[in-house]
Chains A and B, each alone.
Chain A
Amino acid sequence: MAAETQTPTANVLPPPRTEVGVIGWMHANLFSSRLNSALTVVSGALLLLILWYGSRWIFGTADWTVVKTVGGLFLIGSYNTELACPGQNCFWRPQGSLLMVTALLGMIWGIMGGGVARRIAILTAVVAALFAFLPYSLERMGWDVRILLLANVPATAIGWALARYTPLGQAKWAVVWGVAAFLITLVLLRGVPNVPGLQPVSVVYWGGLTLNLLLAVGGISLSLPIGIALALGRRSNLPVVKLLCVAFIEIFRGVPLITLLFMSQTLVPLAFPEDFPQNSLFRAAVVITMFSSAYMAENIRGGLQALHPGQAEAARALGLPGWQTTMLISLPQAIRNVIPAIVGQFIALFKDTSLVYIIGMVDIVEMGRVFISRPEYLGSAREMFVFLAIVFWVFTYGMSYISRRIENHLGVGQR
């Protein structure tokens, strides 16, 4: 018998209950088979146990005195001690730089018009302001510096307003302000000889989270362009350029960062003129950036290799010269395709900044280690490292969150 013909819409029925809704989801994802059900029950039980004992430890057994004692030292290290900054209160200098950062975040919020930029700007401003109410173990911590912390909220608002209501609301001005804020921060922290209130502070006293962030921001913003240049160089048709780039990448990728940091103190000075002002921080920043650039170059080269050759061909056939083909067609697509790898490299770089302890700098981790080795805090290693892990996790999770938002925004994977 011939099949009965039907109109195309006649057979559209609601899906069975096992396909949609909470029950459908649970059935499909948690209890689809006997093995799956067993796994669900076991891992659920494990999760509950971890939560139970974890929270009991965090809120009961653990003694957080050491973390409270270190307090503000986590943030700026020994920067504001009498040794680093004799006879003056230098705390306003890192705080001034924080104000520039919150203003920048406010500006980015104003330019992007909301979304992830708004969340990050508000969160940063609120956390910074809340620090005003925390106990500090910093010398000379008065209400004047607490007011500077509270000022992060208006600073964010001013940045936002500038972006919204003046011609400064363009991405290029945010970049200009970001670079300026970074350079001003360096000058502010380093100080200027013979200027009242800005007496020089040796970089050996720079420390805490500020040090980690300075190294990470400097390294991230330089290793991306350097990595791009190296990746393009490695694909170049000019044998000398290619050889130099390959050598650079393979050497910096092939040596452990710790070795590079040790070597930096003796080798980096050779690369600069004798009278070039240098210090241990500068040398560390150079090798961290180079190390990261080498990895970055390979990530970006991977993105370039994955492009269909037809893309460059189409651009060339339209008469675009080679460099425009690279800048407008190849690179934007290559970078977009490897955003996860690039952000992974950023995260690795941020975590690696804590290795500067081996050249005697006291970053946030080293600051914690200094305290837990004191006799009175001998049993507090666990609390200290849990705290440090959380601090690092907050920043790295923030980076990966932003990266996911950018990926969604650019529509990666929907082509």
Chain B
Amino acid sequence: MTTNGHTVLDEEIITCRDVHKWFGNFHALRGITTSVKKGEVVVIIGPSGSGKSTFIRTLNRLEQHQRGDIIVDGIELSNDVRNIDAIRRDVGMVFQSFNLFPHLTVMDNITLAPTKVRKLPAKEADDIAMELLERVGIPEQADKYPAQLSGGQQQRVAIARALAMQPNIMLFDEPTSALDPEMIKEVLEVMRELAASNMTILAVTHELGFAREVADRIVMFDEGIIVEDQAPDEFFNNPRHERVKHFLSQIL
């Protein structure tokens, strides 16, 4: 099946069944049941505090869910540390605030995990890093420190860093929210290219243009539940829920 310039396989790579998450007394996720197919691009939107970030953070165990099942790439998320590490190696994540390591050069930021976790030889890790920097368009910044780059460049390095572990899934947690408008474009460009390479992507973002153009599905969270899960055309032109209409009217 080919949509939006990439191929989606008929094979589930993420499965969530009735996932619940509490922060103290606050019920943040109230029974999330959904699945993502290999190669699918899912954009998650919703008002702040709706649980969308919490949800994608449960997928690599940055947040621990307390009820329900999450299966990522065939591995069930449990308290077993080996499973968690295996999933984290398989799932790349990009953060709103980049979270590059400021004491390491761009190159070292990217090669750190491949050499320490995957135990790649330094030479091989360097080659991969250089290739990725070319892919995100900033090979000339390899020896600089994160603080010397613009926000957009930093976020592209963060994407390269996540890709260096050769993940099967990429999670984006509001990757453009901290960026100036002219830099948002360059990051979205990289994400577009990534989608076209058939990477499975879950992105929390308010970039509705990107969602309309690239996503296979748009999922809207509100108060810890999924209120809408539709292909982009349906979502924008024919929203079924009052809540979605209200939300769209506020941000469009």
| A contacts, CB < 8 Å to B | 308, 310-311, 313-321, 324, 328-329, 332-333, 336, 410-411, 414-415
Which 8 A-B pairs have CB atoms at the shortest separation, nearest pair first? A314-B99, A318-B113, A415-B147, A310-B99, A319-B88, A319-B89, A317-B93, A319-B117
Q: How far is the CA of A408 from the CA of B93 in the complex (A)?
A: 33
Expressed in whole angstroms, the minimum distance between the Cβ of B145 and any Cβ of chain A is 7
- Contact present for B62 and A317 (CB under 8 Å): yes
CB–CB A311/B147 < 8 A: no
Known contacts A314-B95, A319-B85, A319-B89, A328 near B112 by CB under 8 Å = yes
Residues of B within 8 A of A333 (CB): 101-103
- On whether the beta carbons of A415 and B93 are closer than 8 Å, the reply is no
Which residue from chain B places its CB closest to the CB of A322 in the assembled complex?
Answer: B81
Contacts beyond the supplied A314-B100, A319-B117, A415-B145: 16 A-B pairs with Cβ under 8 Å: A310-B97, A311-B99, A314-B95, A314-B99, A314-B158, A316-B88, A317-B60, A317-B62, A317-B88, A318-B113, A319-B89, A319-B165, A320-B117, A328-B112, A411-B147, A414-B147
Q: How far is the CB of A411 from chain B (nearest CB, A)?
A: 7
The docked-state distance in angstroms from the alpha carbon of A311 to that of B62 is: 12
Q: What 1/0 flags go to B88-120 for Cβ under 8 Å of A?
A: 110111010101111100000000110011000
Chain B residues whose C-beta falls within 8 Å of the C-beta of A328 in the assembled complex: 112, 116
Of A311, A316, A321, A411, the residue contacting B101 (CB under 8 A) is A311
Question: Please, which residues of chain A bring their CB within 8 A of the CB of B162?
Answer: 317-318
Taking CB atoms, residues of chain A closer than 8 Å to B146 are 415
Minimal beta-carbon separation of A87 from chain B (angstroms):
57
Contacts of A324 in B (CB 8 A): 116-117
Q: Which residues from chain A contact B145 at a C-beta distance below 8 Å?
A: 411, 415
Please give me the residue from chain A that is nearest to B91 by CB atom.
A317
Closest chain B residue to A312 by CB distance?
B99
Report chain B residues within 8 Å CB of A319: 85, 88-89, 113, 117, 165
Cβ of B161 within 8 Å of any chain A Cβ, yes or no, is yes
Distance between Cα atoms of A411 and B112 in the complex (Å):
21
B236 to chain A, nearest CB (A): 31
Nearest chain A CB to B98 CB, angstrom units: 8
Tell me the smallest distance from the CB of A329 to a CB of chain B, in Å: 6
Q: A308-B97, A311-B99, A329-B101 are in contact. Are A318 and B62 (CB under 8 A)?
A: no
When distances are taken between beta carbons in the complex, the residues of chain A under 8 Å from B99 are 308, 310-311, 313-314
State in angstroms the CA–CA spacing of A317 and B92 once bound together.
7
> Which residues in B have their C-beta under 8 angstroms from that of A318?
88, 112-113, 117, 161-162, 165
Digitize B144-160: 1 where CB-to-A-CB distance is under 8 Å, 0 elsewhere. Answer: 01110000000000100
Chain B CB count within 10 A is highest, among A313, A314, A318, A414, for: A318
A357 to chain B, nearest CB (A): 42
Interface hits, B125-172 → A, CB 8 Å: 145-147, 158, 161-162, 165
CA–CA, A271 to B113, complex, Å? 43
Instruction: Report how far A183 CA is from B161 CA in the complex, Å.
Output: 44
Q: Which residues of B contact A329 (CB under 8 A)?
A: 101
CA distance A330 to B33 in the complex (A): 36
- With a cutoff of 8 Å between Cβ atoms, the chain A residues found around residue B62 in the complex are 313, 316-317
A66 to chain B, nearest CB (A): 50
Contacts of B91 in A (CB 8 A): 317
Q: Which of chain B's residues has its CB closest to A414's CB?
A: B147
Task: Write the nearest CB–CB distance from A331 to chain B, whole angstroms.
Answer: 10
A336 vs B102: C-alpha distance when bound (angstroms): 11
For residue A336, which residue of chain B has the nearest CB? B103
What are 22 residue pairs bridging A and B, where the CB atoms are less than 8 Å apart in the complex? A308-B97, A310-B95, A313-B62, A313-B99, A314-B99, A314-B101, A316-B62, A316-B88, A317-B60, A317-B88, A317-B91, A317-B93, A317-B162, A318-B165, A319-B88, A319-B117, A319-B165, A320-B117, A328-B112, A328-B116, A333-B102, A333-B103
In the bound assembly, the distance between CA atoms of A336 and B158 in angstroms comes to 22
Give the shortest distance, in Å, between A309 (CB) and chain B (any CB): 9
CA distance A311 to B116 in the complex (A): 17
A199 to B145, CA, bound (A): 56
Contact between A321 and B103, CB atoms less than 8 A apart? no
- Let me know if A321 and B85 touch, CB within 8 A: yes
In the bound complex, how far is the Cα of B99 from the Cα of A315, in angstroms? Answer: 9
* CA A149 to CA B116, docked complex, whole Å: 48
Residues of A within 8 A of B161 (CB): 318
Given A318-B112, A324-B116, A415 and B95 contact (CB-CB distance below 8 Å): no
Inter-chain contacts of A411 with B (CB < 8 A):
145, 147
Q: How far is the CA of A390 from the CA of B12 in the complex (A)?
A: 74
Cβ of A300 to closest chain B Cβ, rounded Å: 15
* Chain A residue, CB-CB nearest to B101: A329
- Tell me which residues across on chain A come within 8 A of B93, comparing CB atoms: 314, 317
Task: Determine if B116 and A415 form an interchain contact, defined as CB atoms under 8 angstroms apart.
Answer: no
Is there contact, CB below 8 Å, between B116 and A320?
yes
User: How close is A267's CB to chain B, nearest CB, in angstroms?
Assistant: 41
Residue of B nearest to A313 (CB): B62
Contact A332-B103, Cβ < 8 Å, known A316-B88, A318-B161, A319-B88: yes
Chain B residues lying within 8 Å of A321, measured Cβ to Cβ, are 85, 117
Chain B nearest CB, measured from A90 CB (Å): 47
Tell me, in angstroms, the Cα distance from A336 to B92 when the chains sit together: 28
Check if A415 sits within 8 Å of B117, measured CB to CB: no
Residues from chain B with Cβ under 8 Å of A311 in the complex: 99, 101
Give the residues from 145 to 204 in chain B that come closer than 8 angstroms, CB to CB, to chain A: 145-147, 158, 161-162, 165
B139 smallest CB distance to A (angstroms): 21
B95 proximity list for chain A (CB < 8 A): 310, 313-314
A315 to B161, CA, bound (A): 11
* Nearest chain B residue, comparing its CB with the CB of A333: B103
Residues of B contacting A332 with CB < 8 Å?
103
CB distance from B114 to the nearest CB of A (A): 9
A328 CB, nearest partner CB in chain B, Å: 7
**A93, chain B: closest CB distance, angstroms:** 42
Chain B residues whose CB sits within 8 angstroms of the CB of A315 once the complex forms? 101
- Shortest distance from the beta carbon of B75 to any chain A beta carbon, whole Å: 13
